[in-house]
Structure 1
Amino acid sequence: MKKTMLLCALVLTAMTAFGQESRQDASFSVFGLIGPDVTGNAVHMKTTTTGGILASYRYLLTPKSGLELNYGFAQNSEKYVTSFIPNGRIHTRNQELTGAYVYNMTFKNFNPFAEAGVGALIFTPIKDYGTNNLDAKQNTNIGALFGAGVAYEISPSFDIRAEYRAFLVKAPDFGLSDFKTNRYEVVSTPSIGVAYHF
């Protein structure tokens, strides 16, 4: 009986100590969207570089392991060159909806981390002067998210977070057979931002 009571007391003490730590955080970041040139199926696609915003929510399951949800937003242009279309342009709204597993380490005020997950990139054509094919349709492409970075703790509630993030996804074709590369691309989104722990 004494052993059971001692074990319960130890478990409650550990739970109370861990419960006092911040297990959740919300972050807001700015990122650069850098897409590669993609060539396939006699189509050449070039993604223009732009900036965007990223909102994330992270929940720590243990001090080293956590889960993260992300929403990102940016606007850029996809340019296509084919044998029939020398100057195809789609002004695009990019949205990211992803979930990832995050592994954390702690070295004084520095907290390096790595993440991997899945999600969707939503490519929505904007029908304006930057788009010269009005038949373009929205693409929702499923892919893999991966990245690594470091958070620097500036107080118990705030840290500055810098990260290299990337998304492996099929190149968008906007429902147009003339723009179909049948290739995958790695879209890089390096980011820097601030996280609030609660």
Structure 2
Amino acid sequence: MIRKATTLYAALLFACTATTAVALAQTDAGVPETPLQKQIERLDLGITAVGMYNTTVSGPVVSPVANQGNGPVTQYGSNTVGVLATIRYIAKPYFGLEFNYGQARYTEHYSVAPFEIQTKVQEYTFGYIATPPHPIFGLQPYLGAGAGTTAFHPTAGGGEGAPEQARATYYYTLGVQKYLDDTQHFGFRAGFRQAFYLDPDFGQNYLTILKHSSSYEPQIGFYLHY
């Protein structure tokens, strides 16, 4: 996972450097910016490491036949570290859009049996983002919210042969960021986000309690601005 994130970050860095070089060359030559270049300059690309702390939920099984008098089922995902890639389009300080792709791997634990399903988790979400121009201790704040889906892919080794499952996901995010260079193309970002979704049961009726879980996600990383 770390190797994939490093490769993606290197690709983003190369793309940003190449685009910046072309723009500077055109500026030095007196060539005006094109409409496309102006739109590209509103983009930034971020890679952050994300801690994932999953909550525990408990409740009765929805199917009385599957429950068989065993009482409520408790389930939770193990805590882990993942990677989040974000593309942001900042039209104005108080209006922007973002797309998030997150990836992590952890184990879903269930109190029945006992039972565990190791899964690869992928998040695909879109959201609104605001970046107020008023600094806080020299740092630019941001906040936003959005929705999308989280896909749970049981692994070949520890997935117990369970099928894949997707859950609707909602999130909010807030944090701070700061440029680390004078050209304002490379910066540091730190924040917190929380995602909400229906805890997965992988289509097994004896695990279906239909309870919403959430993941607390502190994050830290870097971003590239065109």
- Name the structure 2 match of 1:175: 203
Relative to structure 1, the CA distance from residue 20 to residue 154 in structure 2 (aligned partners, 3 Å threshold; closer, same or farther) is farther
Distance 2:41 2:177 in 1: 14
**What per-residue deviation string (whole Å, max 9, x for no partner) do you get for residues 60-81 of structure 1?**
1213311000100000000101
- Name the structure 2 match of 1:117: 146
Distance 1:143 1:179 in 2: 20
| Equivalence map 1:151-190=2 (5 Å) | 151-155=177-181, 156-190=184-218
Give 1:154 deviation, angstroms: 1.5
- SS at structure 2 position matched to 1:178: helix
- SS at structure 1 position matched to 2:203: coil
- SS at structure 1 position matched to 2:51: strand
Does the 8 Å contact 2:79/2:106 carry over to 1? yes
CA root-mean-square deviation: 1.8
Question: Aligned partner of 1:61: which letter?
Answer: A
**What per-residue deviation string (whole Å, max 9, x for no partner) do you get for residues 20-62 of structure 1?**
9941100111101110111011111021101111111000121
| Equivalence map 1:92-103=2 (5 Å) | 92-103=119-130
Give 1:127 deviation, angstroms: 2.7
- Name the structure 1 match of 2:116: 89
TM-score normalised by length of structure 2 = 0.73
Distance 1:73 1:158 in 2: 23
Distance 1:114 1:187 in 2: 17
Q: Which runs of 5+ in 2 are unaligned?
A: 1-34, 61-71
- Name the structure 1 match of 2:171: 145
Distance 2:117 2:39 in 1: 50
Question: Aligned partner of 1:91: which letter?
Answer: Q
- SS at structure 2 position matched to 1:137: coil
Q: Percent identity?
A: 29
Question: Aligned partner of 1:123: which letter?
Answer: F
- Name the structure 1 match of 2:74: 44
Higher strand share: 1
Question: Aligned partner of 1:118: which letter?
Answer: A
Distance 2:76 2:224 in 1: 36
- SS at structure 1 position matched to 2:206: helix
Q: Give the paired residue count.
A: 175
TM-score normalised by length of structure 1 = 0.83
Q: Which runs of 4+ in 1 moved over 4 A?
A: none
Give 1:152 deviation, angstroms: 1.7
Distance 2:117 2:107 in 1: 6
Q: Select the residue among 94, 116, 119 that pairs with 1:64.
A: 94
